[in-house]
Chain A
Amino acid sequence: MQRPSDELLIAYLDGELDAETSKEVATAIARDPALAREAQMLGETAAALRVMFDEVLQESVPERLLAAARGEVGDSELDDKVVRFPEARKPSAAPAAQSWRRWASLPIAASVACLIVGGGVGYLLATQSSGGLVPQPTEQTAAASLNWLDNVAGYHKMLVNAGPNDTALVDIPADPQSSGGHKLALPQDFHLPDLKPWGLAYQGGRVLFIEGRPATQLFYTTDNKALGPVTVVVATTTLPDKAPTPEQRGDINMLWWRHHGHEYAVVGTANLGYLWNIHNDLAWQLDAI
C-alpha cells in the first residue's frame, strides 16, 4: 500500500478498519518513519482532547439539569432556584473507558493512565463526599449498609481504567491454573453467569466483604465499546428482598437487588438500559428473580 489517505490513517487509529486494511496501514506505518510520527501525533492530539473533556464528567451536574431530566422543571418558576455550575472539584483526569482503550498503546494515554489509576478510588470517594454527580441519594442509598456499592464501583472504575488486557486487578483469574489455588467466595452450587451472548468474557474475580461476610465481584470484559466491562457482585445477606434499584457513582452505573438471602449487583459504564437487560439475564441464570 502507498501512503494511506488521512481517512484511512485515522480510521486505523480509531480501530475502524477491517483486519486486512488495518494490516496494510500498519505495514505502511512500520515502513515509513514520517507516517509513524504523524500517526503518533494524531494519537496524542486525540488523547489531549479526551483528557480535556473527560474532566467535565467529574464535575457536579447542576441541579437545574437534574430537575430537567426528572421532568421537574417549571421553567420560569424554577429560574430563581437554579444552582449554578460549581467550581470543578479536584478530579483525577480519568478518560472515558471506551476511548481510553482505543488509545491504550499511545504514550500520552499511558501517562494519563497513571493519573487515572492513582486517582480512581479517590475520585469516587470525593464524588460521594461532596454530593455525587447525579442523583441525590435516596434514603436507602444513604444507609451504611450500602457502602459496599462505593467499594464495588471504585474497583470497577480501576478495572475500566486499567484496560481489558490488564488482569493485575483480578485477584483470582478465570484460568484455574493461574489462580494459585485461591477460590472465590461463591455460594454452593453456584454457576458462573454466562454473559457470552452479550459479548462479555469472564476474566476472573476478587473477594470482598459485604455485611461482614465474604462476597465476590466477577469481572467480564468485552470489545463492545457501547457496553464496556461489566462486573457482577454476588453476596449473601440477611436483609429482606429488594427490587432492582439503580445507583450511580461517577460514571459507573449499577443495578443491585436482593433475593432470597442473596445480594446481587451488576456494574458497568454502560447506560442503565443495558444494565437492566443484563440484570434480567443474570437474574434468570442465577434464579434470582
Chain B
Amino acid sequence: MPQRNKADQDALSSRQAGSSDPAVSGFRPVSARFSDQLVAVLPRLRRFARGLTGSVVEADDLVQAACERALTREHQFQEGTRFDSWMFRIVQTIWIDQIRARDVRKEEPETEAERIGTDEPMRRVEARLALAEVRLALKDLPPEQRAALMLVTVDGLSYKEAAAVAEVPVGTIMSRLARARVALQVKLGGGRGSKDDAEAKR
C-alpha cells in the first residue's frame, strides 16, 4: 500500500525531526515488540494511574498520554532494562507535571464519586476491610507518598526499583512508604496519635 507507506514515512520523518504530532498520518510506526510490551503493561499502568489520580477517567487520560509520550521516545528506551519501570516513570512524570500545572492554575483536581471498581463479591470484601475508608485515606496522602505506595505495596516493586522509577534514593522511598503506611493506619483508626498523623503530612 504505497499510501500507507508514504504516511508511515512522513510520520517517521516527523518523529525523527523531534515532532510528536501524530496528525501527519494518524499512525505512528512503532516496532511490534515495543508495541507488544506497551500493550502488555497497560493494565498495570492503569492501576498505577488509578492510584495516583483516584479517578477512572483521569487515570486513563494519564495512561494515554504516557503511551503517546513513550511512542515518541521509543529510541530512549534501553534494551535490557525494565520496560515496566520505564513506563511507570513516564506516567509519574506526566502526573507530577499535571499537578504542578494545576497548582499554578490553582485548580482543584476532579472529584469523582467513582468507585475504584464494582462487583458484588468485592463489596463483601470491601465491607469487611473498609476499603472505602482506605480509598479516602489514600487520596489524602501527598502525591509522592501515594506513588511510592502504589509502586511498592500495590505493584510489588522492590524499594530499589521504585527508587529508580521515582528517581530518588532508596532511603527516600523507604521513608515515604513508612509515612504513607503509618498515615493510612492512623486514618483507618489504628493510629498512634496526632504526632504521627502530622508527620505523615510532611
From DSSP, what is the main secondary structure of chain B's interface residues?
helix
Most buried by A among B22, B25, B41, B126: B22
Using CB atoms, name the residue of chain A closest to B31: A71
A108 to B128, CA, bound (A): 10
User: How does the 8 Å CB contact mask read for A25-61 relative to B, with 1 for contact and 0 for none?
Assistant: 0000000000000100110111111111111111101
Using CB atoms, name the residue of chain A closest to B189: A41
Within 8 Å CB of A54, what residues of B? 47, 154
Whether the pair A56, B67 counts as a contact (CB closer than 8 A) is no
Whether the pair A44, B37 counts as a contact (CB closer than 8 A) is no
A272 at interface, CB cutoff 8 A: yes
A42 partner, pick from B83, B152, B179, B181, beta carbons under 8 A: B181
B99 at interface, CB cutoff 8 A: no
Which residues of chain A in 75-118 are interfacial with respect to chain B, using CB atoms and an 8 Å cutoff? 75-78, 85, 87-93, 96-99, 102, 108, 112, 115
From residue B115, how far is it (CB to closest CB) to chain A in Å? 8
A92 to B63, CA, bound (A): 24
Most buried by A among B26, B28, B138: B26
Whether the pair A85, B156 counts as a contact (CB closer than 8 A) is no
A10 at interface, CB cutoff 8 A: yes
| Given A53-B116, A77-B26, A134 and B43 contact (CB-CB distance below 8 Å) | yes
Within 8 Å CB of A108, what residues of B? 129
Whether the pair B27, A71 counts as a contact (CB closer than 8 A) is yes
Within 8 Å CB of A115, what residues of B? 121, 125
B166 at interface, CB cutoff 8 A: no
A57 partner, pick from B29, B44, B130, B152, beta carbons under 8 A: B44
- Interface size class, chain A: 35 or more
Most buried by B among A44, A49, A55: A49
A97 to B24, CA, bound (A): 41
B16 at interface, CB cutoff 8 A: no
A87 to B56, CA, bound (A): 11
Using CB atoms, name the residue of chain B closest to A115: B121
A91 to B123, CA, bound (A): 11
A16 at interface, CB cutoff 8 A: yes
| Given A7-B178, A11-B174, A271-B83, A73 and B22 contact (CB-CB distance below 8 Å) | yes
A286 at interface, CB cutoff 8 A: no
From A62-70, A141-149, A211-219, the one touching the partner chain is A62-70
B149 at interface, CB cutoff 8 A: yes
Whether the pair A41, B190 counts as a contact (CB closer than 8 A) is yes
A38 to B126, CA, bound (A): 21
Within 8 Å CB of A70, what residues of B? 30, 35, 38-39
| Given A45-B181, A69-B39, A91-B117, A16 and B159 contact (CB-CB distance below 8 Å) | yes
| Given A49-B138, A108-B129, A14 and B64 contact (CB-CB distance below 8 Å) | no
Within 8 Å CB of A45, what residues of B? 134, 181, 184-185, 188, 190
Within 8 Å CB of A76, what residues of B? 23
Within 8 Å CB of A42, what residues of B? 181-182, 185
Question: Which 7 A-B pairs rank lowest in CB-CB distance, beginning with the nearest?
Answer: A74-B26, A98-B156, A71-B28, A55-B117, A99-B156, A68-B67, A71-B30
Q: Which residues of A contact B (CB under 8 A)?
A: 5-7, 9-11, 14, 16, 38, 41-42, 44-59, 61-62, 64-66, 68-78, 85, 87-93, 96-99, 102, 108, 112, 115, 133-135, 225-226, 246, 248, 251, 253, 271-273, 276
Q: Which residues of B contact A (CB under 8 A)?
A: 22-23, 25-30, 33, 35-44, 46-47, 50-51, 56-57, 60, 63-64, 67-68, 71, 82-84, 116-122, 125-126, 129-131, 134-135, 138, 149-150, 152-159, 161, 174-175, 177-179, 181-182, 184-185, 188, 190, 192
What are 7 inter-chain pairs, A to B, with CB distance below 8 A? Answer: A45-B185, A48-B134, A49-B149, A73-B26, A133-B43, A134-B40, A246-B40
Q: A38-B190, A50-B153, A92-B121 are in contact. List 17 more A-B contacts (CB 8 A).
A: A9-B178, A14-B177, A41-B185, A45-B184, A47-B129, A48-B131, A52-B117, A57-B47, A61-B46, A65-B63, A68-B64, A75-B23, A78-B26, A93-B121, A99-B153, A115-B125, A246-B36
